[in-house]
Amino acid sequence: MSKPAPSGSITVLAGPTAVGKGTVSTFVRDNYPEVSLSVSATTRSPRPGEIDGVHYHFLSQEQFEQYIEQGAFLEWATVHGLNKYGTLKHTVEEAAAAGKRVLLEIDLQGARQVREALPGAHFVFLAPPSWEELVARLTGRGTESPEEQQRRLETARLELAAESEFDQTIVNEHVDVAAAELVQSMGIAPRTA
Ligand code: 5GP
């Protein structure tokens, strides 16, 4: 097999809030070392257990804006009208240069920007089994206030409508199965337990 072009080694995973993008991408990171999960930058505060440089690069508003001015981001967006999140170009470039398959777990706005910048990347939409299941997952998580949950559901409705923009849809019914489908789309043989 020939070496893929840089953008060909990049897969973008997007989908509505609470669909389980984080769970699926963490599963991939823990079970498929040949995949490099891009560590995003964010202005939001760490949740309990989150480690700087592992889960996110936690930046101040000023630091984030400085990176924007420097053109350091491949993409960035304000998510849920609240905090900024972005993918640093060098994170992706370093992983691709090391021959890794790179996985970006980002929101829809970011996915659209990556499509502009790297049209050769692969775009995967992670869908819930149903709207009711998505609502149950979002409210069941219990980490957000009712106002924040409402805001995220509104975002999710818009995000669900964007499915047709993607190259492929994976339904997240079972995390291990969804992760296997995802790595398969990246050209990696899935391992089953
Ligand atoms: P959370 O705050 O729950 O970790 O993430 C909130 C949302 O931000 C998720 O939908 C996640 O996909 C998105 N997100 C995380 N990192 C990035 C990024 O680098 N860029 C963009 N555009 N969205 C991101």
Amino acid 141: pLDDT: 67
Q: Which atom of ligand 1 is nearest to the CA of 113?
A: 22
Amino acid 193: pLDDT: 58
**Protein residue whose Cα sits closest to atom 21 of ligand 1:** 106
Q: Is any atom of ligand 1 closer than 6 Å to the C-beta of 79?
A: yes
Judging by beta carbons within 10 Å of its beta carbon (0-12, 13-18, 19+), is residue 48 exposed, middle or buried? exposed
CA-to-CA separations, 42 to 4, 79, 103, 125, 167, in angstroms, rounded: 30, 10, 17, 22, 27
Cα(84)–Cα(63) distance, rounded to whole angstroms?
A: 11
Amino acid 173: pLDDT: 96
Burial 123-135 (b: 16+ CB within 10 A, else e): bbbbbbeeeeebe
Domains in the chain, CATH or no CATH each = 10-185 (3.40.50.300)
Q: Is any atom of ligand 1 closer than 6 Å to the C-beta of 40?
A: yes
Amino acid 187: pLDDT: 93
| Pairing of β 101-105 and β 122-127 | unpaired
Amino acid 5: pLDDT: 39
Amino acid 1: pLDDT: 36
Amino acid 158: pLDDT: 87
Q: Which atom of ligand 1 is nearest to the CA of 17?
A: 10
pTM of the model: 0.91
Cα(97)–Cα(119) distance, rounded to whole angstroms?
A: 19
Q: What is the pLDDT along the chain (193 residues), one digit of tens a residue?
A: 333 434 669 999 999 988 999 999 999 999 999 999 999 999 999 999 999 999 999 999 999 999 999 999 999 999 878 899 999 999 999 998 888 999 999 999 999 999 999 999 999 999 999 999 999 888 876 777 888 888 888 888 888 999 999 999 999 999 999 999 999 999 999 987 5
Token reading at 183: 């790595």
Cα 79 to ligand 1 centre (Å): 7
Cα 3 to ligand 1 centre (Å): 30
Task: Out of 26, 29, 45, 106, give the residue to mutate to test ligand 1, the one with the largest number of ligand atoms within 8 Å of its CB.
Answer: 106
The answer to whether the CB of 57 falls within 8 A of the CB of 40 is: yes
**Protein residue whose Cα sits closest to atom 10 of ligand 1:** 107
Cα 105 to ligand 1 centre (Å): 7
**Protein residue whose Cα sits closest to atom 22 of ligand 1:** 110
Q: Is any atom of ligand 1 closer than 6 Å to the C-beta of 159?
A: no
